[in-house]
Amino acid sequence: MPKSLLSCSSFSDRASVTSHPIAKKLFEIMLQKKTNLALACDVLSQKELLYWAEAIGPYICILKTHIDMLSDFTLECTKQLRAIADRHGFLLFEDRKFADIGQTVMHQYQGGIYRIADWADLINAHVVPGPGIIEGLKEVGLRQGKGLLLLAEMSSSKTLATGAYTQQAIRLGEEHADFVCGYIALRKWSSHPGMLHLTPGVKLQQGQDSLGQRYRCLEEIIVQNQSDIIIVGRDIMQAKDPVAFAKLYQQRAWSIATSVFG
């Protein structure tokens, strides 16, 4: 094994040194359930969302939502989703990708019809507006013990989030480590133990969709790029037997991660 991989600290070491409440909880869930799999649950109705949460819940550490995709959204659905998450032991990550000034995102996070801060453990944000977006979200989420992920890179082909932009995103996250607990990224960038790296655009076989999504395989993401958590959507949800496939993903990704991180 290359020397750089040997120096990676394990999830349990990282859990014991981080003081971020969501990072700590996430590491504990990962270790207890032996999973670094997040489900991208991109569905259009409440019924489907609750169905997938219940069916795939045992195999995941995070369920990622796009709550504004639901055509029949009600707050009752988020209450039921929260109950399923607590029962199966996974975190809820609303993939809202906030991207505005602090004052605006504060209201978008707390209020509106979705009331994201009431039920989501994790949210994410682009850093294009600068540090004000983190401060605005922090106003709402910090006192509630929530976590923020910064989009440092994207999985789509020809993404503009590269180079100096990515470096600035990593730096901003580390400067706000009381609230930021990781990144959406294609590889590990930060050696801060509490910073998790979550990678979307995952398939067992590499490839692309027709709208620019680029897929990478588990070995590239976890072994070569040392990312912590894989975010998988269609490869599981469109499988012939999604539950069995989720279980396969869980076992494969966890075994690769433990061989890399210890």
Q: Which residues are catalytic?
A: 97, 100
Local structure of 207: helix, strand or coil: strand
Determine which residue in the list 80, 104, 168, 213 makes contact with ligand S5P, applying CB under 6 A: 213
Span interacting with ligand S5P, options 46-54, 154-162, 167-175, 246-254, rule CB under 6 A: 154-162
141 binds ligand S5P (CB under 6 A): no
Find the binding residues for ligand S5P in span 42-101 (CB under 6 A).
Answer: 42, 66, 95
How many whole angstroms separate alpha carbon 97 and alpha carbon 94? 8
Task: State how beta strands 180-184 and 37-40 pair.
Answer: unpaired
In single-letter form, the type of residue at position 135 comes to E
Find the binding residues for ligand S5P in span 239-258 (CB under 6 A).
Answer: none
Residues whose CB falls within 8 Å of the CB of residue 131, separated by 6 or more in sequence, listed in order:
172, 175, 176
Between 43 and 257, CB nearer to ligand S5P:
43
CB–CB of 193/12 below 8 Å? no
169 binds ligand S5P (CB under 6 A): no
Start-to-end CA distance of the chain, whole Å, equals 12
155 binds ligand S5P (CB under 6 A): yes
Interaction mask 175-204, ligand S5P, x per CB under 6 A: ---------x---------------xx---
Q: What are phi and psi of 146, to 5 degrees?
A: -95, 175
Chain residue at closest Cβ approach to ligand S5P: 233
Between 228 and 235, CB nearer to ligand S5P:
235
127 binds ligand S5P (CB under 6 A): no
How many whole angstroms separate alpha carbon 22 and alpha carbon 146? 6
Tokens at residue 137, please? 């979200």
Note the residues at the interface with ligand S5P (CB under 6 A). Answer: 40, 42, 66, 95, 154-156, 184, 200-201, 213, 231-235
